[in-house]
Amino acid sequence: MSLDFFFGPARLTALASGALFWAEERLLCVSDLHFGKSERLARRGGTLLPPYETRATLERLDRDLDRVAAKVVVCLGDSFDDLAAAEGMEEDNRLWLARLMAGRDWIWIAGNHDPGPLDLGGSHRGEVARSGLVFRHEGGGAGFEVSGHFHPKASLAGRGAKPCFLIGKTRLILPAYGTYTGGMPADDRLFDPLLGAGARAILTGQKPLLIPRPTR
């Protein structure tokens, strides 16, 4: 299930899983994977959560990559819950990730949770520009910008709150892709200056749904 929309010069596809696909570039973009979140919380003396979220996230990523046959993958930052979580990734998950990366141009964009380079292959960038779009972790810059960071979510009659894409004229904010990620309501005033008036949202779920961005 997917939904096509236009953003600046590009025709993009929002996947129901929360990933963004740019068919023309064969590029798949995911944001805020937060691999190793349960491990980091445990390490810091927090709650001991079932540690399967990395596998669950990898499973969805694997399925999406397979479906759209992406050549380029952009991870928009906060891919790991912190740098130690990247190093502490379990061996089988690390191999799984390596298998997904094989044969693809894989770009890790730095986020606030994972600011440094990772020992994982792929290229590590602060931001990356491509055919008229610019990809960075936290939105607010120039150009037709694709960003993550805020984990937007919105609800609709019949559905609970679901992660959502937010689409303004020049800024596109992706939902968090990670399994254990919370969210910020899409009607938060913080988004007003970023997206401007007339912004739209695409809710993830069984089927992606386009709605006007909720406002307060």
Partner 1 sequence: MATGGYALRAYDKWQRLLLRGGKWQLRDPRAAALIRQNLGTIIDIETLKVRFRARMGGAPLGEIEESFAATLTPGDTFLIGGQVVRYEGLNELTVEVSRAPGRDPRVAVFSGTKFATSTVLADRILAILQLPAWPDLPRHTAEWLTLQREVSELPHPDRLLIESFPHDGREHLCLYGFAGRNGQQTLGLLVTKVMEERGLAPLGFVATDYATLIWGLDPVTDAAPLLDLDHLRAGLEGWLAGNAVMKRSFRNVALISGLIERSHQGRRKSGRQATFSSDILYDTLVKYDPNHLMLRITRDEAMRGMVDFSRIEQMLTRIAGRIDTRRLDRLSPLSAPLFLEPGKVPVQGAGRERLAEDAARALLREAGLD
The answer for residues whose C-beta is within 8 angstroms of residue 197's C-beta and 6 or more apart is: none
| Segment contacting partner 1 by CB under 8 A, of 11-19, 27-35, 68-76, 207-215 | 207-215
Q: Is 189 in the site for partner 1 (CB under 8 A)?
A: no
Q: How far apart are the first and last CA of the chain?
A: 30
What is the nearest approach in angstroms of partner 1 to the Cβ of residue 59?
Answer: 9
Q: Is 6 in the site for partner 1 (CB under 8 A)?
A: no
Considering only 8, 117, 143, 205, the residue that binds partner 1 (CB under 8 A) is 205
How far apart CA 192 and CA 1 sit, in angstroms, is 29
Q: Are 78 and 149 in contact (CB under 8 A)?
A: yes
Q: Is 196 in the site for partner 1 (CB under 8 A)?
A: no
Report H helices in the chain. Answer: 37-43, 53-68, 83-87, 91-101, 191-195
What is the nearest approach in angstroms of partner 1 to the Cβ of residue 49?
Answer: 6
| Segment contacting partner 1 by CB under 8 A, of 38-46, 76-84, 118-126, 168-176 | 38-46
**Residue 4 token pair:** 């096509």
Count Cβ atoms below 10 Å from residue 55 Cβ, excluding itself.
Answer: 15
Q: What is the CA radius of gyration of the chain?
A: 16
Cα atoms in the 13 Å half-sphere on the side-chain side of 87: 5
Q: Which C-beta is closer to partner 1: that of 99 or that of 159?
A: 159
Q: Which C-beta is closer to partner 1: that of 50 or that of 193?
A: 50
Q: Is 190 in the site for partner 1 (CB under 8 A)?
A: no
| Segment contacting partner 1 by CB under 8 A, of 25-33, 78-86, 141-149, 155-163 | 155-163
| Segment contacting partner 1 by CB under 8 A, of 8-16, 74-82, 135-143, 197-205 | 197-205
How far apart, in Å, are the Cα atoms of 45 and each of 38, 41, 133?
11, 6, 41
Question: Which residues are at the interface with partner 1 (CB under 8 A)?
Answer: 38-39, 41-43, 45-53, 55-56, 90, 156-159, 179-180, 182, 198, 200, 203, 205-207, 209-212
